[in-house]
Amino acid sequence: MRQLSGTDASFVYLEGPRVPMHIGSIAIYDPSTATDGKVTFKGILEHITGRMPLVPSYREKLARVPFDLDHPYWVCDADFDLEFHVRHIALPKPGDWRQLCIQAARLHARELDLDRPLWEFYVIEGLDNVEGVPPGSFALVSKVHHAAIDGVSGAEMTAAIHDITPEPAEPVGGDTFEPERAPSSFELLTRASINNAMQPFRFARLARRTARNSLRNMGLLRSAFPAAPRTRFSSVITAHRVVDGRAFDLGQMKEIKSSVPGATINDAVVAVVTGALRSYLMDKDELPDTPMVAMAPISVRTTDESGTMGNRVSAMTVSLPTTIADPLERLKTVYASTQSSKELTNAIGARTLSDYTQFVPWALAGLATRTASRLSLANRANPVINTVVTNVPGPQMPLYMAGARMVALYGMGPVTDGMGIIHPVFSYNGTITISFTSCREMLPDPAFYADCLQSSFDELYAAAT
């Protein structure tokens, strides 16, 4: 039994019927590389079963403290049922990209069962008409609660069920799974009373550690949080979702970032997103007069924490120069903004900023958020950010699941009131995908926004080269 961190627990407290707090992906596989050129659902179940010991959290569920007086705990599920978590469906003819995105959006819109291990896989067959994908391919749509993983630990969880050759590795032996006795309410309340008694001392130590740096960097603090303008993505979201995305050549993205000395691939990605948002909102005659603002997560996972689940992240804010028409100037401005935000993060310490989440009263914050949602306050309040751009580097070699080669990987993420669009970014085997998840009422034309991403990339690549 282990307790969730403040950051992990926050995603549990913020969960709601319209705001499911899980992240996910759409991985597409070509079964022709497998034995006999096919992969069965039973074979996938057996493959995942053989890898379960590599990721114990697959079998863990939440034990919540009464009245949320302390953060929940992870405990092994004595009634774990793999076939509840791995499901099998198929697309009707013709089995194209639009159908896959619609199905993935429907699945992503549903909440996970908080009384079971917080993940689901959907094997989707019938991908016969997806451009760049061999007919007869299948997809694996994943949903994992954000309380359990961040981008890095999610990549490690993905790696556990994949091989680097078509020939699957031998099943992992020595499965030590033993169902735990669920802790009683009295035990949880006793632990909560001890933890809460120690919190003031822990906070005092953390405050002393950061006070000197904070005072020395007041100028950075004042300039680090630009005001975000209101857009169509700044209102109350519905329970409906859309997902889509585009794949780009990673080598070309590197050429783009190299056109501005010091810029990173993440800067280039943010510049592409900036151009897409600018084009989309201009088409709606809704482009704000001031730059939009994005939040970019930063991993603070140490080497010792490699292989552990949960969230080890901080964040920085980045100004999106949506008011600038020239694509190369947008990239230069993004680079300058990320450098400024990194200065603050380095001055205070990304790990320190992450540590402060332990002391946020997330249960109260979750109640306040749900109250604000019922009152539709997001329709009137100024947003803190306009979007999230989260970049997860992946392996630059082919991966295989049950012998089938992964040919594409796209991301999905949660959206909230006031922040109705998120951009997950994955790089894999020479490609980089920029995906998006949004509220269907805010973004009724996802295919057009995907075209905006493509146009923004093409424009920026032409200017950079």
Task: Calculate mean pLDDT across residues 160-169.
Answer: 90
Q: How confident is the model at residue 206 (pLDDT cuts 50, 70, 90)?
A: very low
| pLDDT at res. 301 | 42
145 noted as active-site residue: no
The Cα–Cα gap between 223 and 209 comes to 22
- CA distances, 413 to each of 10, 21, 159, 245, 356 (Å): 16, 8, 19, 12, 24
> At residue 218, does pLDDT exceed 50?
no
Task: Calculate mean pLDDT across residues 409-429.
Answer: 96
Among 146, 162, 240, 423, the active-site one is 146
Q: How confident is the model at residue 203 (pLDDT cuts 50, 70, 90)?
A: very low
| pLDDT at res. 168 | 85
| pLDDT at res. 238 | 96
CB 362 within 8 A of CB 69: no
Tell me the pLDDT of the chain averaged across its residues: 84
Give pLDDT tens digits for 279-292: 999 999 999 999 99
Least confident of 19-28, 32-41, 110-119, 296-305: 296-305
| pLDDT at res. 366 | 52
Q: How confident is the model at residue 355 (pLDDT cuts 50, 70, 90)?
A: very low
Tally the C-alpha atoms within 13 A of residue 161's C-alpha that lie toward its C-beta: 23
Express as a percent the part of the chain with pLDDT over 70.
Answer: 78
Task: Calculate mean pLDDT across residues 124-134.
Answer: 96
> At residue 393, does pLDDT exceed 50?
yes
Give pLDDT tens digits for 315-354: 788 999 999 999 999 999 999 998 887 665 554 444 444 4
Task: Calculate mean pLDDT across residues 379-397.
Answer: 89
| pLDDT at res. 354 | 44
Task: Calculate mean pLDDT across residues 171-178.
Answer: 64
> At residue 176, does pLDDT exceed 80?
no
Phi, psi of 313 (to 5 degrees): -135, 150
| pLDDT at res. 381 | 78
More confident residue, 346 or 244: 244
CB atoms within 10 A of CB 143: 22
CA angle 297, 299, 301 (to 5 degrees): 155
| pLDDT at res. 387 | 97
Task: Calculate mean pLDDT across residues 40-50.
Answer: 94
Task: Calculate mean pLDDT across residues 185-189.
Answer: 78
| pLDDT at res. 442 | 98
Task: Calculate mean pLDDT across residues 63-68.
Answer: 87
3-state secondary structure the chain: CEECCHHHHHHHHCCECCECCEEEEEEEEEHHHCHHHCCCHHHHHHHHHHHHHHCHHHHEEEECCHHHCCCCEEEECCCCCHHHHEEEEECCCCCEHHHHHHHHHHHHHCCCCCCCCCEEEEEEEEECECCCCCCCEEEEEEEEECCCECHHHHHHHHHHCCECCCCCCCCCCCCCCCCCCCCCHHHHHHHHHHHHHHHHHHHHHHHHHHHHHHHHCHHHHHHCCCCCCCCHHHCCCCCCEEEEEEEEEHHHHHHHHHCCCCCCHHHHHHHHHHHHHHHHHHHCCCCCCCCEEEEEEEECCCHHHCCCCECCEEEEEEEECCCCCCHHHHHHHHHHHHHHHHHHHHHHCHHHHHHHHHHCCHHHHHHHHHHHHHCCHHHCCCCCCCEEEEEECCCCCCCEECCEEEEEEEEECCCECCECEEEEEEEECCEEEEEEEEECCCCCCHHHHHHHHHHHHHHHHHHHC
More confident residue, 191 or 398: 398
| pLDDT at res. 435 | 98
> At residue 228, does pLDDT exceed 50?
yes
> At residue 83, does pLDDT exceed 60?
yes
> At residue 9, does pLDDT exceed 90?
no
> At residue 202, does pLDDT exceed 50?
no
More confident residue, 254 or 362: 254
Task: Calculate mean pLDDT across residues 138-148.
Answer: 93
Q: How confident is the model at residue 30 (pLDDT cuts 50, 70, 90)?
A: very high
| pLDDT at res. 148 | 85
For the record, the structure tokens of 294 come out as 């994005």
Task: Calculate mean pLDDT across residues 352-363.
Answer: 48
pTM attached to this predicted model? 0.86
